[in-house]
Structure 1
Amino acid sequence: MVPALIARVLVDSPLPQLDRLFDYAVPERLRESAVPGVRVRVPLRSAGRIADGFIVELVDSADFPGVLSELDEVLSPIPVLAPEVWALARRAADRAAGSAIDIVRLAVPHRQVRVEKAFLAAVESEPIPVVDRPEIDGYPATLGESLAAGSRIALDAIPLVTELPGGGWVGSWALSFAQAAARAVASGRSAILCVPDYRDQDQVEAALATLLPPDRIVRLDARQSNPDRYRAFLKCLGDAPLAIVGNRSVVYAPARDLGLLALWDDGDPLHSEPLAPYVHSRDAALLRQEQQGCALLIAGHSRSTEVERLVEVGWFTSVSPSPGIRPRIVPTAQQVGGDRLAEQARIPSSAWREARAALETGPVLIQVARPGYAPRLACADCGQTARCLRCEGPLTKRSASSTPACSWCGALAVGWRCSHCEGERLKSVGAAGATRTAEDLGRAFPGVRVVIADGERQVQHVDARPALVIATRGAEPIAAGGYRAVLLLDGEQMVARESLRVAEDCLRWWSNAVALAAPGAPSILVGVGGALASALVTWRHAAFAAAELADRRRLRFPPAVRVATLTGAVEAVSRAVSESGIDAADVLGPVDVGPAAVRTILRFDYAAGAEMASTLRSEVIRAATNRRRPTVGAGPRRAPAPTLKVRFDDVEPFLEQ
């Protein structure tokens, strides 16, 4: 077969007007190596520049009537851009009014020449081992059958920890994920398991290691070194069935015969991609499942409103664990009194008694809202926020004995004096952090081991010995056998945060902590009542998500509707709004967000999403190509006007500013 003569290339460029395929002639010397998916170097007509890119396809003819430029070089013989990944990148970018190359950069790691050479020299000679097909513990047998049939499942996770056969403890959800992935690999298909952070990833890998051979497990995430990540990526290009584990970008991993795509805790903000075009891993997974026909499993201890909407429209099937698996949760008031040691620890007497009793048999988890010692220091005389005398940054303390320091520049506040009243004394304001809580509890429980787990002190596991484990939300370690009691503090401060998703987030934080308790161990929710506390106590997360979604529908807030945030120059934003054709009642703004820049939010129904994305993408390209070039001899260059930026399904405008 004679190779095609024309290569259609995706050029690696940040310019939105270049977000399309360009035709290049394939010279005779590159006929054998120029295949779809390989990295190439191509000339650009403007200024005679050279750019990198990927061959997407080869064709026999082109629409361009003139003479085509030739490929300059094939950088690597390995087809790193798989067809299914390109199709996913194109569709996800179109849905978000973005560029496909931005997603391809997330999907394909930077090239590592030495790793490539070793990969090309390696010869796979060992046969693929046979893998058993386990049942998914704690769920109906029909769950495995549904996944084998390519169903979309919203799974309520089992709120327990479990011991692995070789020792070590993980959340039951991690074992469920591993069992589902092992079933896919046993059938000769690959599985992609996407989790928010490294703690979850380590749990899934530990569970997979008990079910699959090591060479069938691939870790692919941003914490790896560049060579390790590229080595893992190249392994995914093979034909052997794999269980691929990683964070949000793993949803774009190449898997030519994908049988399962699973996401854990999709409400975690770490699933939101901070880079353009800002595609959430859940949305990318939905698109990929539709394209490749694999099973899609989204699980969590609590349910996001996005998943609840998909369940209500019939796109997902809800599956719950066997009846009777429900944690013991006790709500209590915030009032402290009646016990001197409880007052010293700043917790209600009932919670203090539960903690004291639990410490006789094992560890106790105390979840707090903030790390550090205190969120803010203020003048003890006038109450004004204490600020650095050098840079005006807020002052903080790491411990009771430490010298206050600026949280911006780090300068010690030696000889500090209030600029408002000349006062010299400081006081802590707001909820205590993990360090302050640990000090107070240490005094209330003398002789008890205290462990602090937060962003700076990363503790993933604790043993079964008695201990007070003070952890910020999301940083809770796993205890061997589960915690003998869980105390959820600072509930009022968490709920008071102004955010569209505050109820969802609080329920998710608390539920994830409660799921670490031992069977029958009490979990004490302090200072929170109402529907939110009822949903946690009764463990009816789906019902709470349904009620929350109903409120969003009445107010026309996401995910009941889609939103697009437009940011840029006044003229560009105004033109984009007028071109969108949307009803004026669904326009929020504009509001000033910086020098010569405004922001407007558009709300629209899901049915209008494709047309809206296409229209706004045209306006982004128009704004990028209409920027005036500086005139020669016109004096000093001025900063260019801000270009139009479009972000779909953005939650930031609805968060506390």
Structure 2
Amino acid sequence: MPRRIARVLLESSLPQLDRLFDYAIPDELVGDARPGVRVKVPLRSAGRTIEGFVVETGDEDDADRALSEIDQVVSAARVLPERLYRLARTVADRSAGSASDVLRLAIPKRMVRAEKAWLASDGATPPVVLSEERRTADDVLAEFPMLRDRLLDGARIAVDAPPRLVDGRPAWARLLAAAAAAVLAEGRSAIVAVPDHRDLDLLQEQLLALVPGSALVRHDAGQSGPERYAGFLRTLDDAPCVVIGNRSAVYAPVHDTGLVALWDDGDPLFEEPLAPYAHARDVALVRQAVDGCALLFAGHTRTSDVERLVTLGFVAEAAAPRRAAPRVVLSTAPEHEQASARIPSASFRAVREGLDLGPVLVQVARPGYAPSLVCADCRTPTRCAHCGGPLHARARGATPVCGWCGRSAHAWACAACASTRLRLASSGSERTADELGRAFPGARVIVADGAHPVREVDDRAALVVATRGAEPIAPSGYRAVLLLDGDRMLQAPDLRIGESCLRWWSNAAALAAPGAPVHLVGVTGPVARALASWTQPNYARTELEERLPLRMPPAARVARLEGDSAAVDRALETLAADVPGLGDDAVLGPVPIDRDGYPGARALIRFDYGRGPAVTRSLRASVVAAAMSGRGRGRGKGARGRGTSRNTLAVRVDLADPEL
């Protein structure tokens, strides 16, 4: 007689367990062990039980095959629908990772009370978008010809968001809300991912004016466990909905996906710090291919990654017929002024004139008072005598404090020249506010940074000193915008620093009132010209062209292989055999590294997109082989106190900044 079996994906990060295991279903669990439910199964090699998800069930004629039985069905909730497993498997294969690691990002921790309430509700009534709300969404999308029709047809589109405020809110939030509402009106679900909670609040505010609250699901890391799990369970219903959230929102298992949209995909918050390290933009591309939905990239700037897709014709551009751009001024100090002047006279006048009309925004590079100190005599950067960390000042005349260990440097002396005199090497947000407060006596000064979060300011005159990305919104727009420390920002050792600076400056310039001046201080060159002419796609295209002959991302994909030296060498040999024709310059390294006190090696592998599946498959096989060969060997204590096999191998694909 045939017996009932289940194919189970185990919740384990061990690479050798990243496959489906067959388990027999006991007679008493035949009705409960359905695809998508959590189960507990025995793991004979470890002598214990482990949780997993039932992916498939079926009948087997070979009843003599030795199979372990499912130990327990944890819950009747089918939290892993087939569409979510297919997405997780595809993302894992593309990133040379494990499907269980992807599902750990997609499925929140189980909350029993929220799950019982969802099971008792037995589904929800499909939401309805009123006709008036639908017309409002269509009017917003009408600014971009054929955008609504393209979205409903499942196209891939890149949109340059209008750099202005509408009713006191950024136009981009209104645009993305309208796109999601238009898709929901057709009975399909939409997913919109934004970088942080401030963007999330703006988007939610705009969406609640267009769609019913019952159709809106917020996916936020700041939510409590029950709230987050309840929102995830809502996405499992057949009723369409709109999911908004941060980078992991792109995994939401909504029914009948009609749109996946990303705002400002160049923000580093979209980079996943956990294995398999898949960027939200790459997950969105995979999801569009798997689900056949529309894909929308929107921003005030365009990343070289999206520009590559536009150049290939894979993503289409949607431009507004009436181009709007802020009034950007490239401000440099005249010859008769001191070269060390931080704010040129022209920018100083613009700030003074702007204060007569309303708030003025001043963007700086770093928070704090003096983020870095140097020796006043030899200009050597100051270091803590205990841990070697950088010293900084919390206020004028205050004792320097270490940024790493927090110790105060009461009797500091320069290690190079023995001088005891210090000099402020840079100005943070607090010091800039202090200086501007003295320059404009009587003016209201507001500091907005990580330690002083400010979401919105009123339209009264004020100097708003903000770090990049923390700029508050002024309902009527800023009467002047001053972008400081641009030259220092561009000196960061980052492959994409030009793109990042252009994104920071463009987002700040978009908060200016119509006709208000935006002064970029002390910066020239391609980035400054792109901001002044508001031609960010052209800059992204130039960056891409310069990286093509050097095979730098995104012109090529890059994988980092790290582990035991012998394991790295074997993996590279296997890769050369599995994927012939990679080229002599495909592998950089390996170079020696320290791995938790043990010697190791690291190598970078550059490969074309067409060879991606073969490369990731070979690297993943090497990871599994290294893990299997390391079983039973001696273990050392890792940096986090856990037992770590010395004969291990780790792979990270599509590095944002591979330090080439």
Which segment drifts farther, 225-234 or 620-629?
620-629
**Counterparts of 1:223 and 1:642 in 2: how far apart (Å)?**
38
Corresponding residue number in structure 2 for 1:140:
144
**Counterparts of 1:368 and 1:336 in 2: how far apart (Å)?**
24
Q: Which amino acid in structure 1 is aligned with residue 408 of structure 2?
A: L
1:288 and 2:292 matched? no
Kindly state the Cα deviation for residue 3 of structure 1 after the two structures are TM-superposed: 12
**Counterparts of 2:147 and 2:560 in 1: how far apart (Å)?**
39
**Counterparts of 1:90 and 1:62 in 2: how far apart (Å)?**
28
**Counterparts of 1:479 and 1:492 in 2: how far apart (Å)?**
27
Superimposed CA distance per residue, residues 468-492 of structure 1 (whole angstroms, 9 cap, x where no aligned partner) = 1111111111111111111111111
Corresponding residue number in structure 2 for 1:586:
586
Pick from 425, 438, 447 the counterpart of residue 443 of structure 1: 438
**Counterparts of 2:68 and 2:347 in 1: how far apart (Å)?**
74
Pick from 605, 608, 612 the counterpart of residue 605 of structure 1: 608
Corresponding residue number in structure 2 for 1:128:
127
Pick from 534, 541, 545 the counterpart of residue 546 of structure 1: 541
1:643 and 2:656 matched? no
What is the count of residue pairs matched by the alignment?
Answer: 641
Q: Which amino acid in structure 1 is aligned with residue 373 of structure 2?
A: L
8 Å Cα contact 1:337/1:343 also seen in 2: no
Corresponding residue number in structure 2 for 1:398:
394
**Counterparts of 2:215 and 2:495 in 1: how far apart (Å)?**
41
Corresponding residue number in structure 2 for 1:166:
none
Pick from 366, 376, 383 the counterpart of residue 387 of structure 1: 383
**Counterparts of 1:360 and 1:616 in 2: how far apart (Å)?**
62
**Counterparts of 1:302 and 1:3 in 2: how far apart (Å)?**
60
Pick from 349, 354, 357 the counterpart of residue 358 of structure 1: 354
Corresponding residue number in structure 2 for 1:511:
506
Q: Which amino acid in structure 2 is aligned with residue 547 of structure 1?
A: T
Q: Which amino acid in structure 2 is aligned with residue 370 of structure 1?
A: R
3-state secondary structure, aligned to 1:204: helix
3-state secondary structure, aligned to 1:597: strand
**Counterparts of 1:631 and 1:178 in 2: how far apart (Å)?**
55
Kindly state the Cα deviation for residue 8 of structure 1 after the two structures are TM-superposed: 0.6
Q: Which amino acid in structure 2 is aligned with residue 69 of structure 1?
A: S
| Cα 1:445–1:208 shift into 2, 3 Å | same
**Counterparts of 1:125 and 1:548 in 2: how far apart (Å)?**
48
Corresponding residue number in structure 1 for 2:14:
15
Corresponding residue number in structure 1 for 2:90:
91
| Cα 1:453–1:65 shift into 2, 3 Å | farther
Q: Which amino acid in structure 2 is aligned with residue 251 of structure 1?
A: V
Corresponding residue number in structure 2 for 1:455:
450
3-state secondary structure, aligned to 2:149: helix
8 Å Cα contact 2:9/2:18 also seen in 1: yes
| Cα 1:413–1:607 shift into 2, 3 Å | same
Identity of aligned residues (%): 51
3-state secondary structure, aligned to 1:244: strand
1:428 and 2:438 matched? no
Which segment drifts farther, 135-144 or 34-43?
135-144
3-state secondary structure, aligned to 1:5: strand
Superimposed CA distance per residue, residues 511-569 of structure 1 (whole angstroms, 9 cap, x where no aligned partner) = 11111111111111111112221111111111111111111112111111111111111
3-state secondary structure, aligned to 1:461: coil
Kindly state the Cα deviation for residue 433 of structure 1 after the two structures are TM-superposed: 1.1
Kindly state the Cα deviation for residue 466 of structure 1 after the two structures are TM-superposed: 0.9
Corresponding residue number in structure 1 for 2:106:
107
| Cα 1:63–1:28 shift into 2, 3 Å | closer
| Cα 1:312–1:652 shift into 2, 3 Å | closer
Corresponding residue number in structure 2 for 1:159:
163
Corresponding residue number in structure 1 for 2:521:
526
Kindly state the Cα deviation for residue 401 of structure 1 after the two structures are TM-superposed: 4.4
Superimposed CA distance per residue, residues 587-609 of structure 1 (whole angstroms, 9 cap, x where no aligned partner) = 11122332412211111111111
Pick from 476, 482, 485 the counterpart of residue 477 of structure 2: 482
Corresponding residue number in structure 1 for 2:639:
none
Written as runs of structure 1 = structure 2, the 5 A alignment for 1:9-408 is: 9-61=8-60, 66-122=65-121, 128-131=127-130, 132-133=133-134, 134-135=137-138, 136-137=140-141, 139-163=143-167, 169-334=168-333, 338=337, 346-408=342-404
Kindly state the Cα deviation for residue 67 of structure 1 after the two structures are TM-superposed: 1.8
Superimposed CA distance per residue, residues 432-475 of structure 1 (whole angstroms, 9 cap, x where no aligned partner) = 11111111111111111111111121111111111111111111
Q: Which amino acid in structure 2 is aligned with residue 221 of structure 1?
A: D
| Cα 1:334–1:474 shift into 2, 3 Å | farther
| Cα 1:355–1:579 shift into 2, 3 Å | same
**Counterparts of 1:106 and 1:438 in 2: how far apart (Å)?**
40
8 Å Cα contact 1:588/1:602 also seen in 2: yes
3-state secondary structure, aligned to 1:623: helix
Kindly state the Cα deviation for residue 418 of structure 1 after the two structures are TM-superposed: 3.6
1:470 and 2:465 matched? yes
**Counterparts of 1:3 and 1:273 in 2: how far apart (Å)?**
44
8 Å Cα contact 1:492/1:527 also seen in 2: yes
8 Å Cα contact 2:141/2:148 also seen in 1: no
Which segment drifts farther, 607-616 or 39-48?
39-48
Superimposed CA distance per residue, residues 378-400 of structure 1 (whole angstroms, 9 cap, x where no aligned partner) = 23234333333333322211221
3-state secondary structure, aligned to 2:549: helix
TM-score, scaled to structure 2: 0.93
- Which structure 1 residue ranges, 5 or more long, are not aligned? 164-168
8 Å Cα contact 2:129/2:212 also seen in 1: no
**Counterparts of 1:234 and 1:25 in 2: how far apart (Å)?**
28
Which segment drifts farther, 508-517 or 645-654?
645-654
Kindly state the Cα deviation for residue 630 of structure 1 after the two structures are TM-superposed: 4.4
- Which structure 2 residue ranges, 5 or more long, are not aligned? 577-581, 636-641
Kindly state the Cα deviation for residue 652 of structure 1 after the two structures are TM-superposed: 3.4
| Cα 1:219–1:542 shift into 2, 3 Å | same
8 Å Cα contact 2:126/2:239 also seen in 1: no
TM-score, scaled to structure 1: 0.94
Which segment drifts farther, 38-47 or 117-126?
117-126
3-state secondary structure, aligned to 1:529: coil
| C-alpha RMSD over aligned residues | 2.2
Kindly state the Cα deviation for residue 419 of structure 1 after the two structures are TM-superposed: 4.3
| Cα 1:508–1:579 shift into 2, 3 Å | same
**Counterparts of 1:4 and 1:195 in 2: how far apart (Å)?**
48
